[in-house]
Amino acid sequence: MKFSKYCLLIGLTLCMFSGAFAITTTYSYNFVPTPNDLSDLDHYNYFTWGINWIVPSNQVILDAVLTISKIDDWTNESNDHLYIHLLDNAPVGSKATWDNQGGGDNFAGAGPLIANYEDPGPGTANLSYRFSDLGLVNTLKSYLSNNNFGIGFDPDCHYYNCGVKLNITTQNSTPPVPEPASLSILGMFLTGSFLSIRHKRRG
């Protein structure tokens, strides 16, 4: 019975140490364009937002989420669209290019589609596009291998909003290495437990 208790104690200790050694850390990075509402996505322009960023060493990308807060349209029309694309390259910062509300998707073929938003009617909406749900995480990783990527927005109506944001989450690419002191403590504990069991069984 005592032997079983010692085995249980040792097992729990091993689980505790192994769990501590396997901890991974996640990181969160937020990016916001200037202006943060991209000039209310004026329908007379299309917009590029270029981000020059280096993934920190020993980190890998887990996911990314693009959000647009409280987007609104002054009226609901059948041809209202907001096309959003992930681009492999774009000038750093935000840039508006006049297209006189040309209609259609200016970024068609320039990069994978993140969204083709059609406003459902009067009232605001909060948009959120998770890259893992869209199968775009690996694409983002490949674009970031050159430290530069972008997002293209082509509004075919005036989409008022309270801000655009991109959040990228990462985690450490390799599990933390146990400190020598921690390994020594574990080794001493296991050795002491083993000797104690042998002593009590002989006594």
Domain ranges of the chain: 26-173
Q: Read off the pLDDT of residues 155-187 as tens digits, 9 standing for 90 and up.
A: 998 899 999 999 999 999 876 555 555 555 555
- pLDDT at position 134, please? 98
For the cut 50, the answer to whether the pLDDT of residue 8 exceeds it is no
As its CATH architecture, domain 26-173 has Sandwich (2.60)
- pLDDT at position 101, please? 77
Spatial CA neighbour of 163 closest among 197, 127, 194, 132: 127
pTM over 0.85: no
- pLDDT at position 200, please? 58
Q: Read off the pLDDT of residues 77-96 as tens digits, 9 standing for 90 and up.
A: 778 899 999 999 999 999 99
Q: How many CB atoms lie within 10 A of CB 19?
A: 9
- pLDDT at position 203, please? 57
Q: Read off the pLDDT of residues 142-158 as tens digits, 9 standing for 90 and up.
A: 999 888 899 999 999 88
Model confidence at 193, in pLDDT bands (50, 70, 90)?
Answer: low
CA dihedral 71, 72, 73, 74 (to 10 degrees): -150
Stretch (H or E) spanning 92 = none
For the cut 90, the answer to whether the pLDDT of residue 5 exceeds it is no
For the cut 70, the answer to whether the pLDDT of residue 28 exceeds it is yes
Q: What is the mean pLDDT of the chain?
A: 83
Minimum mean pLDDT among 40-49, 56-65, 119-128: which range?
A: 119-128
- pLDDT at position 36, please? 97
Tracing tokens 């807060």 back to the chain, one arrives at 69
